[in-house]
Amino acid sequence: MPKYQGKRDDVLLAPLVRRTGRPAVYLPSARLGLYLAFRALVEPGQRVLMSPVNCETVLFAAVAAGLRPVMAPLSPDDATIDAARVGWSGIGAVVATHMYGLPGQIARLAAECTARGVVLVEDCAHAFLTSVDGRHVGTFGAAASFSLSKHPRAGAGGVLVLREEAAAERVAAMRDDLLLPPAAGGELRAVAGPLLRDAVYALRLSTPAWRLARALGIEAAYVSDDSRARDLAAVTAGELPAFDRWLSVGSGGYRTAHGGVLRRFAAARQRTAERERERRVRGVRLLAGLPVTAPPVRELSDQPLFRVPLLVEERDAAIAALERRGVITTALYMPPLDEDFGPVTEPGPTPEIAAWWTRHVLPVDPLQAARALPVLRTLTSPVRPSVRTAD
């Protein structure tokens, strides 16, 4: 297999290397980054703690790496891991997903992991630009996977940052053994997708635009299927290609190397994300004061969040009303992972919080905040679930 690491990666890695101060490896997808982090840092067979409110590919990456997913206790404020309620017995690793860019209790979680010798991997797919008290996310754990498909809207690409240079070298070698060669036609299609998405979202006639996005495969509709869980449970061993069906969901080229077209596009899109930072922050501030906004947002109103999560009573009606104003709702993760993939997960202690969050969360793109406000000001909050006292 030819080596794809080299000097041409420098421009793609530079923004995150500069912000985190850590060595980094460029990848065709953030999900491949999570898989490689698990393989490089965690022994197979270990139990890995994760939020059940998550993209399913986080679960798939863990299972493909030979780990046993355990559902974590959640905070009802932001659906991130409630560090105070974690049962640490037998936990070998934690993947902390910064959902919508919210860092949750990452500092406390990192301290607990360090004290207990547990590997912490950060899922920073939604947190390309988030910092906590001046410290960038991705610097709290042993590794962190960033996506270039979210904030930068590059359609593909990921960056894995690692605490140790030796770990970065191991990951780069592992990556090169797994990559498939780039294809020029595929690169042009991959670049066209994000450009079409931007055009679709800019249209005021959003219902036809949304249908067009679905028809073109720009936005995928979620489909729950019990057979998926049974099939995944049956794939208990094997090299990564055995899991391609799972990790390819929504991104068929998750381990296809990028040639010059996609690399130049990814670099340009990172610059776009930087230019949009202040506009994104202004949108977060507009939404932070709404009574239905998730409480942590008020403390993070200076951060360029990927989405601002609102907790609303009649979400489906709100989504329809937003579409009529040209605001498309994306980044919904439902149902909780253990509901869809119970056979390959260990249940957590707060399933009622996960179910409540996925039923009521309304993620709003801060870049569309002004257009969305007339609808959002009419929304009401749902009754919060009761939280059992930790033992």
Short-list 296, 231, 282, CA closest to 99: 296
Could you list the pLDDT tens digit for every one of the 391 residues in the chain? Answer: 334 445 568 899 999 999 999 999 999 999 999 999 999 999 999 999 999 999 999 999 999 999 999 999 999 999 999 999 999 999 999 999 999 999 999 999 999 999 999 999 999 999 999 999 999 999 999 999 999 999 999 888 999 999 999 999 999 999 999 999 987 677 777 777 777 777 766 665 556 655 665 555 545 554 555 677 778 878 866 789 999 989 998 777 899 999 888 899 999 999 999 999 999 999 999 999 999 999 999 999 999 999 999 999 999 999 999 988 888 899 999 899 999 898 899 999 999 999 999 999 999 999 999 999 999 999 999 999 877 655 5
pLDDT recorded at residue 3: 43
pTM above 0.75, yes or no: yes
pLDDT recorded at residue 215: 58
Q: Which two tokens stand for residue 347?
A: 């249940």
Short-list 120, 63, 142, CA closest to 343: 63
State the CATH class of domain 277-376: alpha beta
Contacts of 316 by beta carbon, 8 Å cutoff, 6+ apart: none
pLDDT recorded at residue 386: 79
pLDDT recorded at residue 1: 31
pLDDT recorded at residue 333: 92
* CB contact at 8 A, 104 and 90: no
Measured distance CA(245)–CA(313) in Å, rounded:
36
pLDDT recorded at residue 385: 87
* CB contact at 8 A, 105 and 80: yes
pLDDT recorded at residue 2: 35
- Residue spans of the domains in the chain: they are 7-178, 277-376
pLDDT recorded at residue 111: 98
Contacts of 7 by beta carbon, 8 Å cutoff, 6+ apart: none
Q: Which two tokens stand for residue 295?
A: 């409480």
Query: If you ran DSSP here, which 8-state letter would residue 116 be given?
Result: H
State the CATH class of domain 7-178: alpha beta
N residues, the chain: 391
Short-list 123, 1, 11, 124, CA closest to 62: 123
* CB contact at 8 A, 28 and 49: no
